[in-house]
Structure 1
């Protein structure tokens, strides 16, 4: 599924790297614990989180995650957005909770990262 479709499904706002919306993804992982995220080995995974600090971007960079979806109307500050822009990570923000976000994506064909 393209990130543009995910954006539409979640009524999400693009915070940076809008040019990446044509990217395809097949799985997602949801967590606010970056130590859990570091255990991932699935490629082309998107990260769903409510954690908006710089460590989220650093973790995504280490795992080559190209998209982060922030839930519950949370948005990172401009420094975090700029860092994600420099690292080539698309940031989306939705008003949905983490549970609802995961459910919407799952019902539309996105697999859990543990199923890759």
Structure 2
């Protein structure tokens, strides 16, 4: 699924990263447990989470995640935005819950990791 579709479906706002890059995400994973994220062995995934801290960005970097969607109207801190820009991570914010975001994306063709 293209990044532009994800942004439209979840009414997300881009707060960091280059949306001009043709991100074609193959799967999604929803979690607030970064230890679970670190166990993923999949490429081109979207991480949907309610966490909003710098550790999230570091975990995404270590797990080779290209795009993170902050759910539940969580807002990225300036430090998160700066770090996301440095590592080339696209960071999005949506007013939708994790459940609603995941459901919308699944319904429109983005499969889960598991």
TM-score (norm 1): 0.94
Aligned pair 1:9/2:9, yes or no? yes
Structure 2 CA distance for partners of 1:98 and 1:77, relative to 1, 3 Å = same
Equivalent residue, structure 1, for 2:81: 81
More helix by share: 1
Structure 2: unaligned runs, 5 residues or longer: none
For the 8 Å contact 1:29–1:112, the answer to whether it is kept is yes
Equivalent residue, structure 2, for 1:110: 110
Q: Distance in 1 between matches of 2:98 and 2:48?
A: 7
Could you list the runs of 4 or more consecutive aligned residues of structure 1 that deviate by over 6 angstroms after TM superposition?
Answer: none
For the 8 Å contact 1:4–1:21, the answer to whether it is kept is no
Q: Distance in 1 between matches of 2:79 and 2:63?
A: 21
Equivalent residue, structure 2, for 1:99: 99
Structure 1: unaligned runs, 5 residues or longer: none
Kindly report the root-mean-square deviation, in angstroms, between the aligned alpha carbons of the 2 structures. Answer: 1.0
Q: How many residue pairs are counted as aligned between the two chains?
A: 114
For the 8 Å contact 1:67–1:89, the answer to whether it is kept is yes
Equivalent residue, structure 2, for 1:47: 47
For the 8 Å contact 1:26–1:44, the answer to whether it is kept is yes
